Structure 1
Amino acid sequence: MDSSQIRVFTPSSLLSFFVPILALIYAVLGRNFLFLDYVHVITGGTWTGIDLFMGLVMSRVLRSLDPATRSQIIMRLTPLMLLFMPSLAATAITAGIYLATDIGIFTLHNPYVIAAGIVVLILAVQGFGIILPNEVRIFMELKRGAMDRDKIVKLGMRNVYVSGSQVVFQIAIIFIMAVLTVGI
């Protein structure tokens, strides 16, 4: 793949970035609780599903490939994930906070709300503090004329593994949300 072919800002990447955010804005400004719930569930579920796929499937597939093929896959995946995943994560988290506030369970006296906050903080640090900077590093490496394939593979594999570890925290947050909504 030639570095001139690598673009982050394509019509589909911009659409995948803006649609979740615009849906969240529409739900919040319109005070549409049902739609806000839908936005939260669909973005959170998609985020969890992608992390499951990356951690359980892509990690095994990529490990079985030679470094040149592995770097080619990572090079194609990075521009897609660079905008999409932060948009999903930020929208799911923000919608969840709005929902908890709207239904009156967002109180720091509730241990489940505190647990949810801790898990969300861990997910946010992993996503915005590890995965996103690595995606930017990979993208910058791809845009350079002479790419360091080893660096691309190392950073890409790190992101795949961190995505896989996020699944544990996402399962925990789903459990916490279920407890909060049932009122145990």
Structure 2
Amino acid sequence: MAYETKFISPYSFITLLVPIFALVIVLTLRNLVWLNYIHVLTGGTWTGVDLFMGLVMSRVLRSLDPKSRAEIIKRLVPMMLFFMPSLAAVATTAGFFLASWLGIFSFKNILILLSGVIVLILIIQGFGVIVPNEVRIVLELRKEEPDLNKVVKLGMRNIYVSGSQVVFQIVIIFIMANLVL
């Protein structure tokens, strides 16, 4: 029996578009303080959600039976599918513009290069592993007889990848703190 969860709703588009619109407005106004605010808020939220998913949700889900895991995952996916890519894209784009506007963006700067490598790793993990898995979960749950083991496997993989992203995000926060000194 297919799940009746509505995967795309007006709320999905709000979580996708609000961070993007905020960034566009700030870039249009060329306001450095607000750009910094958008960068820190989206980057901090991205890191916080990944930390929560990796440290808390992974342990909670491991303690549950597969059907309960699938129930939780099917409720997480609709929000995560739109919200997290938006946060990641806005945080990294705002970071690029912030470094450019502050005059510290240079490929000769080792900290900028390290940041670029870490951002590339995060993008590959997010858009190459997490988002495709979330799409697979949505498609599986829309089937008449969804394979709950597949849903759980893909969902748990995403949670573990989110947890691994925290390591890279903490390193990039350390780099950013040293960039502005």
TM-score, length-normalised on structure 2? 0.97
Question: Which segments of 5 or more consecutive residues in structure 1 lack a partner in the other structure?
Answer: none
Read off the aligned partner of 1:9 and give its amino acid letter: I
How far the C-alpha of 1:2 sits from its partner, in A, is: 4.9
Does 1:41 find its partner at 2:40? yes
Read off the aligned partner of 1:60 and give its amino acid letter: R
Q: Distance in 1 between matches of 2:23 and 2:113?
A: 23
Question: Which segments of 5 or more consecutive residues in structure 2 lack a partner in the other structure?
Answer: none
Q: Contact conserved, 1:28 with 1:36, CA < 8 A, in 2?
A: yes
Identity %: 60
How far the C-alpha of 1:12 sits from its partner, in A, is: 1.8
Q: Distance in 1 between matches of 2:155 and 2:8?
A: 20
TM-score, length-normalised on structure 1? 0.96
Residue 122 of structure 2 is matched in structure 1 by 123
Provide the aligned length of Structure 1 versus Structure 2: 181
Q: Distance in 2 between matches of 1:8 and 1:100?
A: 36
Q: Contact conserved, 1:8 with 1:82, CA < 8 A, in 2?
A: no
Q: Distance in 2 between matches of 1:2 and 1:25?
A: 39
Does 1:67 find its partner at 2:69? no
Q: Distance in 2 between matches of 1:167 and 1:106?
A: 24
Residue 104 of structure 1 is matched in structure 2 by 103
Residue 18 of structure 2 is matched in structure 1 by 19
Residue 140 of structure 2 is matched in structure 1 by 141
Q: Distance in 2 between matches of 1:107 and 1:126?
A: 25
Residue 172 of structure 1 is matched in structure 2 by 171
Q: Distance in 1 between matches of 2:97 and 2:58?
A: 34
Q: Distance in 2 between matches of 1:100 and 1:45?
A: 17
Residue 9 of structure 2 is matched in structure 1 by 10
Q: Distance in 2 between matches of 1:8 and 1:146?
A: 17
3-state secondary structure, aligned to 1:107? coil
3-state secondary structure, aligned to 1:121? helix
Q: Contact conserved, 2:2 with 2:143, CA < 8 A, in 1?
A: no
Residue 94 of structure 2 is matched in structure 1 by 95
3-state secondary structure, aligned to 2:50? helix
Read off the aligned partner of 2:75 and give its amino acid letter: R
The CA deviation string for residues 10-29 of structure 1, in whole angstroms up to 9 with x for no partner, is 22221111100000000111
TM-align CA RMSD: 1.0
3-state secondary structure, aligned to 1:22? helix
